[in-house]
Structure 1
Amino acid sequence: MNSANSAAVVVGVDGSEPSLRAVRLAAIEAARRHRPLRVVHGFIWPLLHVPVSPAPDAPPGGGLRHQAEELVAAAVAEADATVPGLSISGEIIDGEAAAVLVGESPTAALIVLGDRGLGGFSALVVGSVAVQVAAYADCPVLVARGEQRPDEPVLVGIDGSAASRRAAEFAAETAVTRGVPLHAVHVYRHPGSSGPGDMQPLVYDETGLHTDEDRMLDGWLSGLVEDHPGLRLTCRTTRGRAGAVLAEASRTAQLVVVGGQGRGEVTGLLLGSVSQSVLHHAHCPVAVIRAPR
């Protein structure tokens, strides 16, 4: 995460209702973090060689560029109405939406976007822009979806990977800032491997396995409470599919935080299967935290 005091919370907008929900969430998040808010619109039409200025005989105020200016202005106004007095700027950047937001990420404190935009297919639960930005961004990505439940805890999925450890830090900081508990969940399916090439046992003691997984979770979270004074932490270890367990648990959470790629997932995937599953099925906003590349 960019720690410079000037780093802004960046929100991507396209004029859709999901993007306006993202604007409201981003404004609140910027205020919580004492950061400015930067409203960004990826303006793709110049790349497609589409005329963006009004035709010579068109009435004033026409053209695609003017429409983009209006939607950015509307988003800035929405943010200002959500958090009056917040430092807000807006900018139109030529380029495809996901590429523009990823380009903003090295200097952003956080990127916020809606789960779907104007160009999304109706069959998709989460749009391709959200998935691409979550996979490639160099800062935490917050996707506005589901219900807002400000009194519920922050939920984080933990599996011992570098990305999940960063997710735990982000979740702990967020929970303390919001004044709510942090609920850490570790989901396992089989006995863990102690090294490369290890064979999983065909027969094992379920009670002993659960105890071992509890012990690993305690080790992964060791020091988290000491590092975040005021943190109220609860932990749960359960057997199942991580994506499904976290999505179900999100029904009683205000935010679910996941690492971009978990332990044991295919290395070539920029966004792991668990984080993708949570992005598509969570019942509250989702934060995706990637490990450094």
Structure 2
Amino acid sequence: MLTVRKIHPAVYSPISDLITYRALPTRSIEYVDPFLFLNHHGPQVYEPNNNGLPFGPHPHRGMETVTFILDGDIAHRDSSGHESVINAGGVQWMTAGSGLIHAEVSSDQFMEEGGKLEILQLWLNLPASLKMTKPFYKGLQKEAIPSLRLDDGKVIVNLVAGDWDGHQAAFDSHIGIQLNTIYFQPGGTVTLTVPNDHNIFFYVIKGRLNANGTVINALHLAEFDHDSSELVVTAAEDSILLFGHAKPLNEPVVSQGPFVMNTQQQIMEAYDDYRKGKFGSWH
């Protein structure tokens, strides 16, 4: 059975009036290759006539973002011409690749009416061979994301990326990442199988879970050894888990602001290209 090596608390790090917990990076853990960064926004309730999410136009290069909308919505727009509003239960997948500018704000309706908001954004690294790949964006509503009901309906697995016992997920990953959100009712149990050479991403969004005998509470990230391939997870109460696994890239990671590359020189080039307008225009 896989052993929990260490449990890392997410750090409270609000952004303006947006409640935010950062699970990666923190003082106790830098990243879980190739999972680089996780911000957990909310849960909170916005009053009517609010300013919404504060993420106006900004650039990215060399990585991917996966955004999970648990409550509320996100209005996405980027310099490649993509626009969408994704509602609760939906997921956005954006490959920054060679570079783009995007904004993630709230819809006009949400800013006018207010409501519940809870959103997670996960950054995935790209290997050196794909750092400069063409940018890509796809946003899917809840209805377009396949799900499986397990343990007599006490566990619901949303298939975000990869495959689950032959069931294909909603998104294709450049590097074979498995990614799921898993909803548990009290007592719900699921057995997860992970290749020995993969790193596990295990973040408890809500509730309390028991993973191979170790209790992991909400707003905590569990780090695992590579001593087995089986992980039995049981919920003590209503719980939500962000679960993933992937083979580590084992490449240098140099990140600065919104750019993730392999060398400092490439970071400098990214800033230079951005200043020169090579990330597309923003109107």
Same fold (TM over 0.5): no
Report the structure, 1 or 2, having the larger helix content.
Answer: 1
TM-score, with normalisation over the residues of structure 2? 0.27
TM-score, with normalisation over the residues of structure 1? 0.26
Report the structure, 1 or 2, having the larger strand content.
Answer: 2
